Amino acid sequence: MKASPDAITSAMQLYFSGELLRNTQKFLMLRGVQANHVTVYRWITKYVKLMQKYLEQMKPQLSDTWRADELFLKVKGNMKYLYALMDDETRFWIAQQVSDTKYTADISPMLRQGKHVAGKAPHTLITDGAFNFESAFRSAFYRENKALAIQHVRHVRMSGDRNNNRMERFNGEIRDREKVMRSLKKADSPILAGCQIYHNYVRPHMALDGKTPADKAGITVKGQDKWLTLIQRASQVRATEN
């Protein structure tokens, strides 16, 4: 790191917890750090990619019930849809996919990615009634469904034992973040990957008794500055690989 580790991780914490890039720049200037908003974005891009590669090796211990939903966001000013897959018990954000459409997008790649991340398929998948969830479910979990009779719960109501309120709260978290991002520049933006890392490994959740989803899923990130811990671990792994 050319800048101090504290400056970089402070910038990442500010940005992913809701600050604009320019506000993050102003905060750093108050601490004597000369870094403009472009530099902050470059830090985010560089270290998110580093952490992402390292975290792909992690195997979270997830429950047998997963939830999936979609919300709209803008990419280069155009309307897109962010599909997200979340574990019901740990709130771990398992996988994501950006698509052009809401009802016809093939989201089976996201479900297959979820199966890869977890090392298994769920016993129950809870979604809304969109038909593409059903087709993706049948495609991604075809073999497991034949063997385990996986249940796909659709036409979810907002009351009762099987509702998607938890996913709606998650969507609210992402909507709040998207308002600050204004408009993403590309669908595979490191910003979305950074949001996923922040949600899973850095941000404590009240519903999880102040723990992170990673904590609940058996992945412990020690230290007060979890960004720094993750970057250090990822850098060490990369050094051994090289």
pLDDT in tens, 34-81: 888 889 999 999 999 999 999 999 999 999 999 998 888 877 778 888
Does residue 184 carry a pLDDT above 70? no
Average pLDDT over residues 167-188: 67
| Same domain? 101 vs 178 | yes
% of the chain surpassing 70 pLDDT: 88
Confidence of residue 128 (pLDDT cuts 50, 70, 90): confident
Contact 127, 141 (CB under 8 A): no
Q: For residue 9, how far is the Cα from the chain centroid?
A: 18
Contacts of 33 (CB under 8 A, 6+ apart): 3, 4, 7
CATH number of residue 175's parent domain: 3.30.420
Count structural domains, the chain. 2
Domain shared by 89 and 161, yes or no: yes
- Answer yes or no: are the C-beta atoms of 54 and 215 closer than 8 Å: no
Residue 182 lies in a domain: yes
Range of the domain at 174: 65-187
The answer to the question of residue 201 being in a domain is no
Asked whether residue 31 falls in the same domain as residue 125, the answer is no
Do residue 80 and residue 152 come from a single domain? Answer: yes
Residue 34 lies in a domain: yes
